[in-house]
Homo-oligomer: A and B are copies of this chain.
């Protein structure tokens, strides 16, 4: 069926059901960052394959709202589809709501599938539509009706995440959640975000690329802990273990009836911005809903001691793989043919040699010279170039290990450097170091610290166009909330940095057409001193891998920055050298020598 036919069919069903406008979003019922193909409705319907869009259909118009990254792609992919590109003014906003409000008549009905809409979006529509008495009808899943060859919801096997990694039994974690619920008089805690569920139950899966997650819901009360998941995903032994831990298993879709059956005046906790509207609507009106940051999300973000010990061990493994890769690169470049793609594959092969390696935590960014200036570059067969003995090479990669998730960027020189490259590199590096050295009072939010990483660049009228740091999961998503270090407040204004939170520290500098520089470590929030002016926190850099000192202009570093760098390199050598043969050890000794 062509898009234009699908559109006609959808309009027919809309007409029969008295729906004046129908919205198709690009989300799944769990508000995930990466979405399984089962929920790629926009791609199926419109042919558009970008990562963010909303389609809105009325009898007279069909539009696809997306942001500037996708304007060219959308125009090509939507050609002759009957769907027009609508250019978003502000990325990641629901600008179609105002369009609907202006376009629709009084008393119109807007339809959508509530399972793939966040409560936040639905409430925003209600507020805007109230004046024109435009009603929402969230019970229509017209796309499913039309989409006959729709991929199944993934049914990959779920597996246990061992206590030696997790540090806390699932029963202990659930007990902590229950305590927090009691403190706040909460009867039920609803979980629909997949990484929160995986963390709470010490389970992992492989339903989604790079993220070791499995499709499910969960509901916790004082007496029950229910995991709503397709039965066939659970091996028999795991099912027995879960039963022994007093965790009930129910079919995936039964979450909706479980919510509907809640008793009067019970109080449910859910973070509505991350909860789908159908879940919200299933809860009886006589129950209260507390909309607060998910208890589990916060607990998960505060890495426990075992997790931190594992992270340290994992950083040694990942550091060893990186050192072997960087050594190989230095020895081989100019002698054998290396391309961006083959370098990325080689790095993966070194990670695969490490114990407990599960897979990449995201698609490697292996970018030579001018390609490095594109922050999200992904080498394709068409773009792939050969690495030569000159210029800067940037590699941003990470691994999923049972003992943690890594994310590291190094920019290394493959030959002679220009003065401009040296200055750019040093100013970007000053950012990485300044943030690593920061001291800040409890209560500080990431948005406040962002400038520390940018100041050296700003002072020289330079900048980079992305955030400085994102939260990182523990054998979970490489992008994990709630905290971040970014010029944008991370949505939730209550997200302050707390001891145990792990984030990236990745200031950068990009000179279009020439080179890109990014030096990224993971940093852990730890306690500093407490005094009459408050409790102070600081960062500990946990990533272990030499930073190329060849492109460093020592005169541009402060005394403290230089001290930090030499000290860091001492630690890198001390931690990694026991796991290296003499060849690599000697190389590392040289690479970590004081400047």
Contact = CB atoms under 8 A, between A and B. Distances in A.
A127 B123 contact: yes
Given A123-B127, A439-B461, 4 more contacts: A131-B285, A440-B451, A447-B448, A448-B451
A512 interface: yes
A240 interface: no
Scoring A449, A458, A529 by chain B CB atoms within 10 A of each residue's CB, the highest score goes to A458
Contacts of A528: 461
A555 interface: no
Contacts of A132: 285-286
Interface in A273-297: 285-289
A102 interface: yes
A463 interface: yes
Contacts of A130: 126
A461 B106 contact: no
A459 interface: yes
A536 B444 contact: no
Contact of A533 (B450, B452, B462, B532): B462
Interface string A502-522: 000000000010000000000
A440 B452 contact: no
Contacts of A533: 461-463
19 contacts: A126-B127, A127-B127, A131-B287, A131-B288, A132-B286, A133-B285, A438-B458, A440-B458, A441-B463, A444-B487, A445-B487, A447-B448, A447-B489, A448-B448, A448-B451, A448-B487, A451-B451, A461-B529, A461-B534
Contact of A461 (B126, B127, B133, B531): B531
A138 to B, nearest CB: 14
A458 to B, nearest CB: 5
Interface residues on chain A, size class: 35 or more
A449 B447 contact: no
A102 B534 CA distance: 35
Contacts of A536: 458, 461
A493 interface: yes
A534 B448 contact: no
Contacts of A487: 444-445, 448
Contacts of A439: 458-459, 461
A412 B441 CA distance: 28
Nearest to A286: B106
Nearest to A493: B489
A512 B534 contact: no
A101 interface: yes
A233 interface: no
Scoring A438, A449, A461, A489 by chain B CB atoms within 10 A of each residue's CB, the highest score goes to A461
A45 to B, nearest CB: 29
Contacts of A102: 288
A516 to B, nearest CB: 13
Nearest to A452: B451
A455 interface: yes
Contact of A532 (B441, B447, B455, B512): B512
A460 B102 CA distance: 55
Contacts of A458: 438-441, 536
Interface string A35-66: 00000000000000000000000000000000
Nearest to A438: B458
Contact of A451 (B286, B449, B461): B449
Interface pairs A-B: 4 shortest CB-CB: A131-B285, A461-B536, A448-B451, A441-B463
A461 B102 CA distance: 53
Interface string A484-511: 0001110001000000000000000000
Contacts of A461: 439, 528-529, 531, 533-534, 536
Contacts of A101: 288
A289 B127 CA distance: 11
A460 to B, nearest CB: 8
Contacts of A286: 106, 132
Scoring A289, A441, A512, A529 by chain B CB atoms within 10 A of each residue's CB, the highest score goes to A441
A529 B463 CA distance: 13
Nearest to A185: B102
A285 B106 contact: yes
